[in-house]
Amino acid sequence: MSSKRIVTCTVNGREESFLCKPQQTLLEVLRDELDLTGTKEGCSNGNCGACTVLMDGKPVVSCLVLAVECEGVELETIEGVADHGHLAPVQQAFLENAALQCGICTPGFIMSTKALLRENPNPSEQEIRFYLAGNLCRCTGYDKIIRAVQDTADHKIA
Amino acid sequence: MRDFEFEAPATLDAAVALLAEHNGTARPLAGGTDLIDHIRTERLTPDVVIDIKKIPELNILEHSADGLRLGAAVSCSRIATDETIRQQYSALADSASIIGGIQIQNRASMGGNLCNAGPAADSTPSLIALGANCVIAGPNGRREVPVESFCVTKGQTVLERGELLVEFKFPARPSGSGSHYRRFIPRNEMDIAVVGVGASVTLDGDTISDARVSLGAVAITPLLAHEVNDALIGKPATDETYKASGEVARSIINPITDMRGTREFRIHVTGVLVERVLREAVARAKS
């Protein structure tokens, strides 16, 4: 049996230390050890993007990251998006555009959108669709999501 | 997931020693986008996972007069955004920007893509077309293998126990050269190639003075298409030449029929893609 490791990293701006086994994914640790259940498990094999979080500012699927790889990194999850209980503009835009139905994919889409708009504050529709290709949604048909991202970009803040 | 030990050595020597010590029961971890899923599904059952991303040699991305050195663990997003790669080794940037989605590109490496030895790997035809050599480190020292000889068959490479793929070495790009990679998939993104074609051409005026074409997903391993290269070298860079080369490509492949396409469809698409990829590679060589 492998022994547990202590991993220290920053989660949503706060330093966190947790114990984990080498085979625990970041997704499992976020949900089961840190109680950050906003990050959702979809396919568990890297296809759907539901579990997207930002690792050192870059979107990754947390089901394909081992928690032990996170020593010293900076993580951002959906829990860090709202500002003291007030929806961030990207969240407000998803709400106003009805860019969700069942909501399982939404945290992943919002994290990818945040990264997209940091890299490219004025993306074209094609750039949005290309960047969000790793996030799947079976409810909206995507158009409402694209409009929500465009609205967020128009307001120039994620 | 199954239980395993985790190591993250900081030096190449330590990684090779660990791989040798565990004698076939250890697996290197780069981006993990295939490995972690394979462990979860128990297609692979390593006792030790060795994270190689802390090793400087595996993260190198260096341009010099001798060419390009690319660490085996460098992420696709780093490759796709490197300005010199985009300009001079554009087929590599093409591959790096269509492997999975952004989340996968931020983790996945070309070393990992090659070591999985999938027939449809999207980076391998570009590596072959651009003439990359694999630098391999092992208990008995280092050796180099051209990428086209690295995959022995589906899922199997020339790596011996204890050996690790360290980096790719690319020759410098001659003036008047261009390259491109393109695949056919039924969707716009996030799919596995039905056929993939990589090509590098060098022009002398309007004549093709050198060419390397590589074909993916049409044989048990990605191929360096010698016959297609021969059909191009010394010929004018015209549509007729590309069409004839596409015909040659159709005649040398042995694709299978599977859920992604029939053998006949793959043969047809190979010719079409060879023409299109050559046209774009030549356009890039001229610009």
DSSP secondary structure, B54-118, as one string: T-GGGG-EEEETTEEEEETT-BHHHHHT-HHHHHHSHHHHHHHTTSS-HHHHTT-BHHHHHHTT-
- Mean of pLDDT values over B231-260: 97
- Mean of pLDDT values over B184-189: 88
Among A64, A65, A111, A136, pick the best mutation site for testing chain B contact (most B Cβ within 10 A).
Answer: A64
Chain B residues close to A63, C-beta within 8 Å: 36
Q: Where are the domains of chain B?
A: 5-51, 58-171, 177-286
The token duo for B252 is 């040398």
Of B55, B192, B66, give the one whose Cα is nearest residue B111. Answer: B55
Of B170, B168, B172, give the one whose Cα is nearest residue B136. Answer: B168
Beta pairing, strands B61-64 & B48-51: unpaired
The token duo for B87 is 């300009």
pLDDT tens per residue across span B84-104: 999 999 999 999 999 999 999
Of A1, A66, A134, the CB nearest to B104: A134
Say yes or no to pLDDT of A1 above 80: no
Beta pairing, strands B48-51 & B5-7: parallel
φ/ψ of residue A80, rounded to 5: -95, 5
B133 vs A84, more confident: B133
Give the H/E segment covering residue B157.
Answer: strand B156-157
pTM of the full predicted structure? 0.96
How are strands ordered across the β-sheet holding B5-7?
Answer: B5-7, B48-51, B26-29
Domains of chain A: 5-80 (3.10.20.30), 89-154 (1.10.150.120)
ipTM above 0.90, yes or no: yes
Domain B58-171 maps to which CATH number in 3.20.20.80, 3.40.50.261, 3.20.20.70, 3.30.465.10?
3.30.465.10
Q: Which residues pair with B70 in a beta bridge?
A: B61, B168
DSSP secondary structure, B207-233, as one string: EEEEEEEEEESSSSS-EE-HHHHHHHT
- Average pLDDT score, chain B: 97
Q: Which CATH architecture has domain B5-51?
A: 2-Layer Sandwich (3.30)
Percent of chain B with pLDDT strictly greater than 70: 100
Q: How many Å apart are CA A99 and CA A69, to the nearest integer?
A: 33
Put simply, whether A20 touches B (Cβ < 8 Å) is no
Specify the pLDDT at position B188: 82
Topology match between the domains B5-51 and B177-286? no
State the DSSP code for B12. Answer: H
Say yes or no to pLDDT of A64 above 80: yes
Q: Cα Rg for chain B, rounded, in angstroms?
A: 19
Q: Kindly identify which residue of chain B lies nearest to residue A108, measuring between CA atoms.
A: B103
pLDDT category at A158 given cuts 50, 70, 90 is low
pLDDT category at B224 given cuts 50, 70, 90 is very high
Are residues B102 and A134, on separate chains, in Cβ contact within 8 Å? yes
Give the H/E segment covering residue A90.
Answer: helix A89-96
Q: Kindly identify which residue of chain B lies nearest to residue A3, measuring between CA atoms.
A: B5
Are residues A60 and B188, on separate chains, in Cβ contact within 8 Å? no
A155 vs B60, more confident: B60
Among A7, A69, A114, A116, pick the best mutation site for testing chain B contact (most B Cβ within 10 A).
Answer: A69
Instruction: For domain B177-286, say whether CATH 3.30.390.50 is its number.
Output: yes
Which residues does B contribute to its contact with A (CB < 8 Å)? Answer: 1-6, 8, 29, 31-33, 36-37, 39-41, 49, 51, 53, 77, 100-104, 106-107, 188-190
Chain B residues close to A47, C-beta within 8 Å: 190
pLDDT tens per residue across span B143-178: 999 999 999 999 999 999 999 999 999 999 999 999
pLDDT category at A157 given cuts 50, 70, 90 is low
Specify the pLDDT at position A156: 63
Chain B residues close to A45, C-beta within 8 Å: 37, 40-41
Are residues B103 and A22, on separate chains, in Cβ contact within 8 Å? no
